[in-house]
Chains A and B, each alone.
Chain A
Amino acid sequence: MPSPTSWSATLGGAARSPERNPTPPPRRSGTLCPVPLISVRSLTKRYGTVTALDGLSVEIEAGIVGLVGSNGAGKSTLLKILLGLIDATSGDASVFDLDVASHGTDIRQFVGYMPEHDCLPPDASATDVVSHLALMSGLPRTAARERTAEVLRHVGLYEERYRAIGGYSTGMKQRVKLAQALVHDPRLLLLDEPTNGLDPAGRDEMLELVRRTGTEFGIAVIVASHLLGEIERVCDHLVAIEAGRLLRAAPLHAFTERTGTLAVEVEEGSEALAARLTAAGLEAIADGRAVLVAVADERPYDVVRDAIAELGLPLVRIEPRRHRLEDLFRDGPGEAVAADAEQPPPVTAAPAADPPSADPVSGAPG
């Protein structure tokens, strides 16, 4: 239940009275929000026989949240339901503690949305489109103009903003799409595959913009993407969904923490090394050119070093293996959660006995 003093109660009141100037939700860096930013309860969405969301329940706090999943996992569907663009088949969801089905316009005044697909009329200029959409978000005319100039400059569009969008590059179009989502100074930004179609440099710039938006402007951001590498770079939380179900929701570091495994990579002789280590009483299996060794304490490091020296193997690198985000989707959901439950051993020091391990690239001796 929202407390009577929370902004959500004010918002609800504004919806009933002739809405003049509803109090915006707090910036995420500001006062603590008494309720989760987004709350989703057993949300299901079916399109005919296709189930896009299957009883999804998750609570999302303000921050830069990555919504990851393969294509068709239900990311876009979730964003659209949160915006009230489509109705859920069953279950419910709330944003700013307002129900999405009944308070759509109140919520959307404070939400910015960057769709995945093309959504800009080619015959209009960026200035025209963005200022028009600012009016549609409820900004007065002069404010719409000023904010448009400001936000377009912010995303890096200058003189070209007066030209027709039809002549823009994909990168410029993506910037305009981001600008229209920011023009009304939302408290929540929903970005659907913001780096779609961008070259590597464009990706970097877009991700940097997203990161700054989330960290410097006090705007909560949800980035939907199927590219884990990008999500890793900007997000502090991850929500992973697969086939419309929640795989896992946790801070980013929890996804990539160390496992209790040491990977020893050699140019050749991995089988022999594995056999030697097993004989020495370690759990070791050969995996291609690498040998995976279970480490529970300091002892295996010395054993590995000695074994390599005795066998005279060309060592490439030794490194503690980390969970990778990809593992989330490669393993089943159950395995990913189980792996998370394992406590990683306190691997603190790299095996100093093997200088090559410090530099994995130049590590091949001989």
Chain B
Amino acid sequence: MTAPISVESATGSIYDLGYRGYEGPRLGRAHAIRSLFTHSLRSTFGIGRGARAKIAPLALGAMAVVPAVAFVGILALAARFGEGTSDLIEESSPFGYHTYFGTMSTFVILFCAAQAPELFGRDQRHGVLSLYFARALRRSDYTLARIAGFVTALLILQLFPQTVLFLGRVLLAPDVVAKIGDDVPSIPPILIQGLLSSFLLGGLAMAVSAFTPRRAYATAGIIALFVIPGIVAGVVAGIGSTDIGNVLFLLSPTSVLDGTNAVLFDIDFASEFFFIDLPDWSYFAAAIAGIVGSIAITLRRFVKVTA
């Protein structure tokens, strides 16, 4: 049974409501900052953007996690062959908490080079900055929210594979409780190294991309900044100048992170970097100086940039 159509509904007209004002809440600056942070985090992974914007971040993210997944898969296979096998595999495997930051560093650097210009470069290239700065935000709010979003993205990128590794190791172990006891002490170093790495690489990548609207320049600049100093340090030390080599080592972001990683996970560093002779604290000091410096430079840039 259909209801009979009344005269009113049949002849009901569509009213042009015209412009209506907004009388609801205005949440102001803090809300704008939070929203921009979320937007930056999502944009870094290409979420909320077209399909093409997702290719690079998702591909690099997948590459960063593939070794961890593969390792867990091997552990699962090994579990069928009895207890001894998986222990043997773990010992001989190149994939552990202490090596994984190094394993995925190439992908993290490429991720920085590909995605940092997406945030600052895009806003500058298309003149969007003046729309941001004309809103309930300060220039510094904009800058810090963008950096925080990118750093958080890097943190997720790097901690996700470590989580896969942890869950795989624990859940596939014959004695889960004992394995948790073994692995939990590794969590603080993982978190600290993850934070240092995300802030240092993220801060520097954002600083470089803040200075040019051109995407290609920013990408090249980021890769150069992350790769070249390490090579130079190695070469200089290799030809015998340990003192200069030491200084250059601390100027290379990736080398500094190798240093903090070695200290945090208590690895014998000297065997790999025989030419380096630096105190443990110097790596952390260099990392923190790099983080603070890069953020300060970026803030200064956006205070001055014309919009």
Interface residues, chain A, with chain B CB atoms under 8 Å away: 14, 18-22, 24, 27, 83-86, 104-105, 108-109, 111, 113, 115, 117-124, 128, 132-133, 135-141, 143, 147, 150, 154, 164, 180, 184-185, 212-213, 216-218
Chain A residues, Cβ within 8 Å of B128: 119-121
Does A133 contact B131, Cβ atoms closer than 8 Å?
Answer: yes
Q: Which among B104-112, B134-142, B229-237, B239-247 touches the partner chain?
A: B134-142
Q: Do A85 and B130 form a contact, CB below 8 Å, given A20-B27, A137-B136?
A: yes
A31 → chain B, closest Cβ, in Å? 15
Tally inter-chain residue pairs, CB-CB below 8 A.
126
14 A-B Cβ contacts within 8 A? A18-B30, A19-B28, A108-B134, A115-B130, A118-B127, A132-B35, A136-B32, A136-B137, A137-B32, A138-B28, A138-B31, A143-B24, A154-B19, A217-B19
Does A119 contact B135, Cβ atoms closer than 8 Å?
Answer: no
Nearest B residue (CB) for A124: B49
Does A121 contact B122, Cβ atoms closer than 8 Å?
Answer: yes
**Known A124-B49, A132-B39; 11 more pairs at CB < 8 Å:** A20-B28, A83-B134, A84-B133, A111-B134, A121-B126, A137-B135, A137-B136, A139-B22, A164-B50, A180-B131, A212-B19
Nearest A residue (CB) for B22: A185
- A105, A115, A124: which contacts B138 (Cβ < 8 A)? A105
Does A128 contact B48, Cβ atoms closer than 8 Å?
Answer: yes
For the complex, is B12 an interface residue (Cβ under 8 Å from A)?
no
CA distance A114 to B64 in the complex (A): 43
CA distance A108 to B139 in the complex (A): 13
Q: Determine chain B's interface SS by DSSP, over half rule.
A: loop
CA distance A85 to B302 in the complex (A): 11
Does A140 contact B24, Cβ atoms closer than 8 Å?
Answer: yes
Chain B interface: which size bin?
35 or more
Does B22 contact A143, Cβ atoms closer than 8 Å?
Answer: yes
Does A123 contact B31, Cβ atoms closer than 8 Å?
Answer: no
For the complex, is B82 an interface residue (Cβ under 8 Å from A)?
no
Does B22 contact A147, Cβ atoms closer than 8 Å?
Answer: yes
CA distance A91 to B27 in the complex (A): 31
Q: Which residues of chain B from 22 to 59 have any CB-CB distance to chain A below 8 Å in the complex?
A: 22, 24-32, 35-36, 39, 48-50, 53
Q: Do A185 and B21 form a contact, CB below 8 Å, given A21-B26, A133-B135?
A: yes
B44 → chain A, closest Cβ, in Å? 15
Nearest A residue (CB) for B50: A123
